[in-house]
Amino acid sequence: MAPLNDEQLHQIRDERKEQIMKAALNVFARRGIIGTKMNMIAAEAGISHGLLYHYFKSKDELFITLVEGAMIEADDEMKKANLMPGTPIERIRKLTEIILDEEGAPFFMLIHQARTADGVPDKAKALVQQYSMKSFVERLLPLFLEAQDKGEIVSGDPAMLISSYLSVLSGLMVLNVQDDEGFQIPEAEFLLRMLTGR
C-alpha cells in the first residue's frame, strides 16, 4: 500500500484536531479550565493523553484556540441576524431563539469561563475583550434602530438596550440549567417584553 500523500495526512490531522476541540469544548464548558484535566479531554476524544500534545502544545493553547473559534462563530451569528427575512422584531425573536435553543450553551459557558474564571491564559482574556460586547452591539445596531423606527421596541439608547438584552441572554446561558433544578429558561416571548413593553 502506498503511503498517504501530503493532502491526506493533512486532512487526517485536521479531523483529529476537530475531534479534540469538540471534546475539549464540552469539558471546558462544564468544568472550567482548572477543573478540566487533560485526561478528561483525551478520554472524551477517545485518544491517549499523550497524543493531545501532538496537536496542541499545551492546555492553554487548546483553550485559547477554542475561545478564538467561539468568538468568531458568535460574531457570525450576529451578522446573520441582519440578513434574515421578516420584520425587525421577528428577526430579534429569531436571534433570541437561536441563542436560547441551539447547542450554544457550551459556547457561552466557555466565553464566561474565559471572562471570569481563574487560571485563564492572558491571550484568551484578550480575545474575549477584543471581540466582546462592543462589537456585538455594533453588529446589531442597524436591526435595533430599525425596530425602534417602526415602534416595535421601546425607545431609549439603543446600544444600552442591546447590551442589556444580550447580558440577560448570556446570564441565562451561563446558568447552565439542568432539568430538575427549578431554574427556568424563559420563552423568547417572555424575554422580548423587556424590549417591546407589551
Partner DNA sequence: AATGAATGAGTGTTCATTCAT
Partner DNA sequence: AATGAATGAACACTCATTCAT
| Binding footprint of DNA on the chain (CB under 7 A) | 1-4, 8-9, 12-13, 16, 36-39, 47-51, 53-54, 57-60
Q: Which of 10, 142, 149, 190 binds a second copy (CB under 8 A)?
A: 190
Q: Taking the complex as a whole, how short is the minimal distance between the CB of residue 32 and DNA, in angstroms?
A: 11
Q: Which stretch binds a second copy (CB under 8 A): 13-21, 59-67, 88-96, 189-197?
A: 189-197
- CA within 13 Å, CB half, 147: 29
- Torsion sign (Cα): 106, 112, 118, 123: positive
Q: Which stretch binds a second copy (CB under 8 A): 56-64, 77-85, 142-150, 163-171?
A: 163-171
How far apart CA 3 and CA 195 sit, in angstroms, is 60
44 contacts 27 by C-beta, under 8 angstroms: yes
Measured from the CB atom, is 117 or 141 closer to a second copy?
A: 117
Q: Taking the complex as a whole, how short is the minimal distance between the CB of residue 11 and a second copy, in angstroms?
A: 20
How far apart CA 111 and CA 170 sit, in angstroms, is 10
Quote the DSSP letter at residue 121.
Answer: -
Is 168 a binder of a second copy (CB under 8 A)?
yes
How far apart CA 79 and CA 69 sit, in angstroms, is 16
**Terminal alpha carbon distance of the chain:** 69
- Torsion sign (Cα): 142, 145, 150, 152: positive
Task: Return the C-alpha cell found at 151.
Answer: 415602534
Q: Which stretch binds a second copy (CB under 8 A): 4-12, 58-66, 126-134, 143-151?
A: 126-134
Quote the DSSP letter at residue 180.
Answer: G
Q: Which of 49, 94, 115, 123 binds a second copy (CB under 8 A)?
A: 115
Q: Which stretch binds a second copy (CB under 8 A): 4-12, 87-95, 96-104, 179-187?
A: 179-187
Q: Which of 4, 35, 73, 150 binds a second copy (CB under 8 A)?
A: 35
Q: Which of 47, 98, 174, 188 binds a second copy (CB under 8 A)?
A: 174
